[in-house]
Amino acid sequence: MAESIADVIVVGVGGLGGILAKELSSAGLKVVGFERGPAPQKEDYAPRDSIRFLVRPEKLDWVRHEPTTTRRRTGEKATLQYRTSPLNVLGGALLHWTGQSSRYMPDDFKLYTHEIASGNAERARADLSGYDIIDWPIGYADLEPYYEKFEWEFGVSGQAGTNPFAGPRKRGFPLPPLRHSARMKLFAEACQKLGYHPYDTAAGIASAPYKPAAPFDDRIPERPACVYCGHCNFYGCHVHAKSASLYITIPVALGTGNFELKTNAKVFRLNIESGDRLSGVSYFDPAGTVHEQKARVVILSAFVFEHARLLLISKTGKGRFARGVANSSGYVGRNIMAHGDVRAMGVFDDYIINGFIGPGSAAIRIDDFNGNNFDHAGLGFIRGGTIGTSGEGTPVTRFDVLPPGVPTWGKEFKEFYTRYYTRTMDLNMQPETLPHSANRVDLDARQRDRWGLPLPRVTFEFHQNEQRLQKFMAGVGEKIMRATGASRVWSEEKGRPNRWAGGTRMGADPRTSVVNDQCQAHDIDNLFIVGSSVFPTMAGYPPTATVAALSYRLADFILAQKNWFK
Amino acid sequence: MSEQEKPRVFTEHERLIVCAIAERIFPTTDSPGAVEIGALDYVETALAGDYAAQAPLYRQGVRAVDRYARARFEKVFLRLTDAEKDAVLRDFEAGVPVFFKQAAEFFETLRYHVLEGVFCEPQYGGNKDMIGWRLVNFPGQQFGYDDAYVNRRVDLKPVSVDYRKNGTK
C-alpha cells in the first residue's frame, strides 16, 4: 500500500488509535496505522514485576526512546524526563492504565458558562488571572452514546444510579462492580457517616467473563474476569481482564483485512499537499529509512506531547503553516494541563487493610467535592475533584509512605514498616487543573531523540487555583480518613503532575483553538486530532472514558463523509 | 543466584562499607537485616546493569563516608559504633559534609537501593527466600486472590516468579 493512497492514516495505534482502526476498517475504509513502538508479547507486559514497571519504568523500551524535556517556567533550563503516560507500544497506555472509567459530569464541559459568566468564580473569590478558560464546543449529551459504546465494547464494571452527581445515562453498565476490599468498606462507611454519597467507581476491568453482544461489536473476543492480583496500575494484565485495545479492538481491526499496521514506524512529518490539505505523512521504518504514505484523511492519536511536536515540526518555510501545521491561532502546544493528585493516608492499629490486593480501580468514590457540586463561596478557588480509595503497591513501592515523625531508615523504620505495611490505606484526590497560558509544549532547541527530532519541551507548573484546590482536597481527604477510624492520619497537599491534557484544544473560535467540535483542525479539512490534547478543560476525573468516547464519535463523523472516499 | 553469577562492582573495602551502611538502613534486629536479605547482591547487580550510571556516585560516596568519619570521630567508618555510624549517615542525609556536595544524594540513592534490595522481586538478586516480603506479610507475586481478606491476615504461602526462566503465567 506504500505507493497507493490510503483512505485514513492513524498516527499512534494506542488505546484510541485502536478504536479508530477498528471502526473505520470495519466500514470498509483502507486504514494504515503507524505505531512508533513495537507490538508487545505477553511476556513483555504481563509480568507481575514491580521493579520493572514501577521502580525502573524509564528503562522500558516503550518509555526510554521518547522522553520530553521539562521545566517549571519560561527562562529555566529544561531537563530530560522519561514519562509513562504516552506509552510507546502497540495498544498504548490503555495497556497499563488504572482502569478508572469515570464519565465527565455535564457541568465539566461548560466552565466558562458555569464558573465565570455565572459569577461563581467571583463568589468564590477565585483569582483566575493567567488562566484561559473556554467552554467545550460539545457537551455531555453529544458524548453520551459514545461513552455507552466504550463501556459496552471494553467491558466496564460499575453500578448505575448510585452517584447522584452523574449525568443521565440510557443504559446501565455491562458488568457489576468489582469485589469490595477492606479499603472500600471503610471508605464507604466513613462517607456515609459524614453525609457524602459513596458509589462504586466505573472500572475498565471485567468483574466477570465478558464478551460484547449485539447491538455492540460481537466480534470482540471474550475476556476473563479479574483475579485481583494487585499488579495492575502500570502493569499489563496477565489474564486480560483489564480493558485494553491490544486485545479488544486491534485484533478485530486486523481481522477486517482493511487495516495495515506498521509497528516501530515513526511518523516525523505531516505533508502539505496544496492549499489547506494534507497529502499524508513521512515516516522512518524500523531501519531508519524514510518513506512517505499518502492518504485522504490523517488522524493524530499519539498523545499530548507528540501532537504538539508533530504539528510544530511539520511547519513550512513560509505561508500559512510557517508557525506549524494547524497553528494559525498560535494555540498549538498551549494550555496544557495535568492533574495534581493529592493523597491522604491513614494507618490502623486494629484493622488489616491488605492494600496490595488489587485492583486499584476497584474503588469507592465520592463526587461531593468535584466540579461545582459544593458551595465555593469565599474558598478562593473554583472547581474540585473526585475522591476515592486507591491502593495496590508491593512493599518495594511503599516504603516511603510513612506518617510524619516516623524515620525513613533504621530500626524504628523497620519496626514501623513491618507492622504497618498491611495496615495502611490511601485516599486519592484528583483535583481539576485549569488551563493556564504559561503552561505549554514547544520544541526543545537543543535536545533531540534517537531519530534526530527535537524533543517536546514541557513548561508546566501548578498556579494559584490549583495550589489552593489541592490543599483543600487534601484536607477533605484527611477528614474522611479520620472518620474511617485510622489511628494516625496525614496527607500530601501538593500534587505532582500526571494525566496530561491540552495543547491542541477544541473550540468554536478558530482564533483561539486548534480543532473544532469534530476534532477536525480548523485550518485543514482532512486533519483530525483525538485524545486529551483536545480538551479545553480537564475535569476532576481521569480522561480515559472521555477520550475513548471522542474517538468513537470521530469515527462516526468520518464515516458520514461518504464523498471523501469515493 | 550462585556465587559465580554474582556481579562484582565494588572493591572489598567498598563492599564492607556499603554493607555497614545497609545494615544501619535496615538493621538486623530479632529478624534479618539488609545484608542477610541480599540487598548487597541487589545493589551490585543493579550497578552492573540498569543503575550503571550511578556507580561513580557510590565510589565517591564511600570515600567521603570514610573521610567524614575520620574528621568527626577520628576513626574509619567501619570502626564506629552503631550510634556513631548513624550520626555520620544523618549528616550525609542532611548534606552536612561540605567537601562532598552529593552527600545527600548519595545517602538517598543508597537508602532507596538498599530498601529496593530488601523488598524487590527475588529475580533481581535481593529479597532472598522472600524474607523481606515475609517480614511485612506480603504474599508475593500471587496469580490472584480468591478472597478480599477484609481485616484478616493473608495466610497464603508467599510466591515468587522468575520471569526470565518461566515466561508469563
| pLDDT digits 0-9 by tens, B98-121 | 999 999 999 999 999 999 999 999
Q: Which pLDDT score is estimated for A472?
A: 98
Grid cell listed for A347: 494507618
What tens digit of pLDDT does each residue of A466-505 get? 999 999 999 999 999 999 999 999 999 999 999 999 999 9
Does the CB of B144 have a partner CB in chain A at under 8 Å? yes
* Residue in A239, A352, A418 nearest the CB of B152: A352
Q: Which pLDDT score is estimated for B131?
A: 98
Q: Which pLDDT score is estimated for B4?
A: 57
Does the CB of A214 have a partner CB in chain B at under 8 Å? no
Does the CB of B169 have a partner CB in chain A at under 8 Å? yes
Grid cell listed for A294: 499518502
CB contact under 8 A, A411 and B29: yes
What tens digit of pLDDT does each residue of B87-104 get? 999 999 999 999 999 999
CB contact under 8 A, A354 and B149: yes
Q: Is the pLDDT of residue A129 over 60?
A: yes
Q: Which pLDDT score is estimated for A508?
A: 97
Q: Is the pLDDT of residue A545 over 50?
A: yes
CATH 3.50.50.60 for the A5-561 domain, yes or no = yes
Q: Is the pLDDT of residue B169 over 50?
A: no
Q: Is the pLDDT of residue B1 over 80?
A: no
Distance CA B78, CA B62 (A): 11
Q: Is the pLDDT of residue A318 over 90?
A: no
Q: Average pLDDT for residues A187-195, to the nearest whole number?
A: 98
* Residue in A354, A396, A422 nearest the CB of B120: A396
Q: Which pLDDT score is estimated for B3?
A: 56
The ranges assigned to domains in chain B are: 12-137
Contacts of B77 (CB under 8 A, 6+ apart): B17, B20, B65, B66, B69, B85, B88
What tens digit of pLDDT does each residue of A74-86 get? 999 999 999 988 8
User: In chain A, what percentage of residues exceed pLDDT 70?
Assistant: 99
Distance CA A63, CA A72 (A): 21
Contacts of A182 in chain B (CB under 8 A): 148-151
Q: Is the pLDDT of residue A90 over 90?
A: yes
- Residue A276: pLDDT band by 50, 70, 90 thresholds? confident
What tens digit of pLDDT does each residue of A432-462 get? 999 999 999 999 999 999 999 999 999 999 9
Instruction: Find the DSSP H helices in A3-118.
Output: 15-26, 42-45, 50, 61-64, 111
Distance CA A260, CA A131 (A): 42
Grid cell listed for A513: 483553538
Q: Is the pLDDT of residue A1 over 70?
A: no
* Residue in A42, A46, A50 nearest the CB of B121: A50
Q: Which pLDDT score is estimated for B168?
A: 53
Q: Which pLDDT score is estimated for B164?
A: 81
Burial of A394 (C-beta count, 10 Å sphere; 0-12/13-18/19+): buried
Higher per-residue confidence, B24 vs B8: B24
CB contact under 8 A, B119 and A357: no
Residue of chain B whose Cα is closest to the Cα of A419: B136
Helix (H) or strand (E) holding A260: strand A259-262
Contacts of A59 in chain B (CB under 8 A): 50
- Residue A2: pLDDT band by 50, 70, 90 thresholds? very low
Q: Is the pLDDT of residue B39 over 70?
A: yes
Q: Which pLDDT score is estimated for B7?
A: 77
What tens digit of pLDDT does each residue of A519-541 get? 999 999 999 999 999 999 999 99
Q: Average pLDDT for residues A215-234, to the nearest whole number?
A: 97
Alpha carbons within 13 angstroms on the beta-carbon side of residue A566 total 4
Distance CA A386, CA A309 (A): 31
User: In chain A, what percentage of residues exceed pLDDT 90?
Assistant: 96
Residue of chain B whose Cα is closest to the Cα of A185: B150
What tens digit of pLDDT does each residue of A355-394 get? 999 999 999 999 999 999 999 999 999 999 999 999 889 9
pTM equals 0.96
What tens digit of pLDDT does each residue of A40-51 get? 999 999 999 999
Grid cell listed for A357: 490486593
**What is the pLDDT of chain A when averaged over all its residues?**
96
Burial of A134 (C-beta count, 10 Å sphere; 0-12/13-18/19+): buried
Q: List the 397-416 stretch of A: residues with Cβ below 8 A of B.
A: 399, 408-411, 413-415
Q: Which pLDDT score is estimated for B166?
A: 62
